[in-house]
Structure 1
Amino acid sequence: MTLKVVAIMNNKWLSPRAVFVCLLLSGVVHASTMVTRDPIEQPALMSALSPTTQLTDIARAGERLVAVGWRGHIVYSDDSGVNWRQAAVPVSSDLTAVHFPSAKQGWAVGHGGVILYSSDGGGSWVKQQDGNSTKELMAAYYQAHLQRASEQDRPRAEQLLGDVDLNYGTGPEQPWLDVWFADELHGYVVGTFNLIMETRDGGRNWTPLMERVDNPEAQHLAAIAAVDGDLYLASERGTVFRRKQGDGHFVPLSTGYGGSFFGVAGEGGLILAYGLRGNVYRSADKGENWTRIDTGLQAALTGGTVLQDGRIVLASQGGTLLVSDSGATAFTAVRPERSWPFANLQVTADGRLAIVGTHGVQLETMPAPGS
């Protein structure tokens, strides 16, 4: 059966990235439509099939791999992706992203505004936030923000409070799309319609930061990444937001592209922004100037990672991998023997690639440079 979905939230169109995170593949009906309890209150069902079902992101927790996906499934592997076990998770919401700043402590986020925390390397999880608690937090924060605002800043403060009402007026429906932590205390979550929060105490308390992103049109924030100490947000309309180390605001960088970016990857001053229709834009000066790289692909690029030798690999929804040269000035397409819609990928402890997507996890050995 083919299921075509058009997603509209709060009378705003949902970006292709968010639609991708919601479904990733046409033809699959969400099982949570058959349950009566809210997924943010219902623990994930344990299943031996969880490593082979829809997974959306994967991270390293030390040498362990941890992957997240639909219906609250979280699986982990201690042998570089050969065998997997399912973690105990207190929600059955679809999960979109996971990040571990250390071998033990990590966070996962997803639909219903859930923020999950693990202190044991992903073996078990507790819920720190959901859309209900975030609604209360944001409403109180931006009401106080409005009361403190000067006459000059009042229109923007009113807009932000109005955005909170729009985002949460019909319930805890807005998803977080990505999570990133600098260490075990300091981290960020980002999502639809300019939603962003920061914690400095390991998620015990969160501070909204929507006023710190120069994003008055409330474009979706699809991903967050750190490159050389600066933070970058992948967004819509060819926009990448940058927060320089020590600065207070995320400012928009224009890449010259008109579509949506789904991720940012890079190191050593090199930054790649990737997204719809195989588009990749490259900057060698921290985002001041961008150049489009012709990848030859039309499928969306949904994930990326840096290999041990510095090359960058991108995963496509069409089941193809793009492997960069040493300077990320060009890409070579690699189609694995088993190919289906990919979501993201991670380098394993033994140097292979663990790729997650519609059929769970698969392992690939990357060709040597120049081969």
Structure 2
Amino acid sequence: MISTRSALLAALLVALPVHAFAEYKDPLDSHAAMSPMAASTQLLDVAQAGERLVAVGWRGHIVYSDDKGVSWHQASTPVDIDLTALSFPTATKGWAVGHGGVILHSVDAGATWTKQLDGRDVGPLMLEYYEGQLKRGDESAQKYIEDVRLNTEGGPEQPWLDVAFKDDMHGYVVGTFNQIMYTADGGKSWVPQMELVDNPDALHLNAIALDGDDLYIASERGIVFKKPKDSDHFSALATGYNGSFFGVVARDHAVLAFGLRGSLFRSGDQGVTWERAASGIDTAITGGTILDDDQVLVVSQGGQLLRARSLDSSFEKLNVERPAMFTGIAQAQKNEVVIVGTAGANLQSLSHVP
């Protein structure tokens, strides 16, 4: 028997004009729709670009503010697909990444963007790289060939989850199932580096942070991967935690990883030893930043804001003016931050909180 729902759907499809199907355009090839509400809809990350603030999110939306987060303008973007993270190593040059394997680049502080790569290119690029290694006698490359085929057999569906650039030439993108690539020429070319991560189970690489020349990647099963200055290899660091980390921040050899159920783990010796820091909350911590004065702020899925005076200090819960599901945070100016999430970008003062 055909259900009423199925019958209605069939009737609707028959009633649709032919041009309704012909007008479909791949989100990877469609510009994001311009909207006066872009800064009030779902945003996933925010960063400083010199004096400017830039945020990315839902359906290719990128917004920027030149007045410390008071007002926002929408940027022109060449994709209509969710963007997850961004990095500005200089005041003008930045990169944004997201679903569909998208990598975008801006040279004007985030006002306009061009596409450097998407998932339709990533699969063949990775296959060519590891097949070349196999031909040169590296039998371990066979595993990565199989992983790449598995990840791309359904099309360009794997997202990049984070991006970090040290300067305007050298940067990394990381994503699901151990996907990682590196560029040394500002994104003109990308080199896969899956074999350089001590990740045999292909855990997701959820976030990446720089501390000078050291790199840290937050992953699943309580693992943080580290690449020190004098190595090309990302070693797995055991933190004593078994859940997922969604983010990591680092400065001056101190590291903080955060994730599920309010979990905060920190290291004061470049990841050699770790300790749990009390958060006082049980919702996922999804974003964090270190301010110019070394204060550490993290935000949660439950709309909470926590502060520590430094990476080795205890955390306190602050009052939030507009709670929502938070995903990212960045400094706007002294005593003010911008928090992004399901309610868009919102200013939060630190002056009148404990």
Q: Say whether residues 1:366 and 2:350 are aligned partners.
A: yes
> In the alignment, what sits opposite 2:52?
64
Q: Say whether residues 1:221 and 2:205 are aligned partners.
A: yes
> In the alignment, what sits opposite 1:43?
31
RMSD: 1.3
Q: Say whether residues 1:86 and 2:70 are aligned partners.
A: no
- The SS at the match of 2:29 is coil
Separation in 1 of the partners of 2:291 and 2:127? 42
User: For structure 1, which runs of at least 5 residues remain unmatched after alignment?
Assistant: 1-34
Q: Say whether residues 1:335 and 2:329 are aligned partners.
A: no
Separation in 1 of the partners of 2:194 and 2:311? 34
> In the alignment, what sits opposite 1:140?
128
Deviates more, 1:44-53 or 1:330-339: 330-339
Q: Say whether residues 1:149 and 2:125 are aligned partners.
A: no
The runs of at least 4 consecutive aligned structure 1 residues that moved more than 4 Å come to none
Contact 1:317 1:342 in 2 (8 A): yes
- The SS at the match of 1:234 is strand
> In the alignment, what sits opposite 1:25?
none
Q: Say whether residues 1:52 and 2:40 are aligned partners.
A: yes
When Rg is computed on C-alpha atoms for both structures, the one with the higher figure is 2
Q: Say whether residues 1:192 and 2:176 are aligned partners.
A: yes
Q: Say whether residues 1:355 and 2:343 are aligned partners.
A: no
User: For structure 2, which runs of at least 5 residues remain unmatched after alignment?
Assistant: 1-22
> In the alignment, what sits opposite 1:5?
none
Deviations 1:234-283 (A, max 9, x none): 00000000000020100000001000001111212211110011000010
Deviates more, 1:305-314 or 1:253-262: 305-314
The letter of the residue matching 2:102 is V
Deviations 1:302-349 (A, max 9, x none): 111112221100010100011013343310011302101000000014
Separation in 1 of the partners of 2:94 and 2:311? 31
Separation in 1 of the partners of 2:317 and 2:29? 42
> In the alignment, what sits opposite 2:147?
163
Of 272, 279, 288 in structure 2, the residue corresponding to residue 295 of structure 1 is 279
Identity of aligned residues (%): 52
- The SS at the match of 2:28 is coil
Of 170, 176, 187 in structure 2, the residue corresponding to residue 203 of structure 1 is 187
Of 229, 238, 245 in structure 1, the residue corresponding to residue 229 of structure 2 is 245
> In the alignment, what sits opposite 1:177?
161
Contact 1:311 1:328 in 2 (8 A): no
Q: TM-score, normalised by structure 1?
A: 0.87
Of 66, 83, 92 in structure 2, the residue corresponding to residue 104 of structure 1 is 92
- The SS at the match of 1:203 is coil
Kindly tell me the number of residue pairs found equivalent between the two proteins.
Answer: 332
Contact 1:223 1:263 in 2 (8 A): yes
- The SS at the match of 1:348 is strand
Separation in 2 of the partners of 1:148 and 1:342? 47
The letter of the residue matching 1:346 is A
Q: Offset at 1:39?
A: 1.0
Contact 2:321 2:348 in 1 (8 A): no
Q: Offset at 1:285?
A: 0.5
Q: TM-score, normalised by structure 2?
A: 0.91
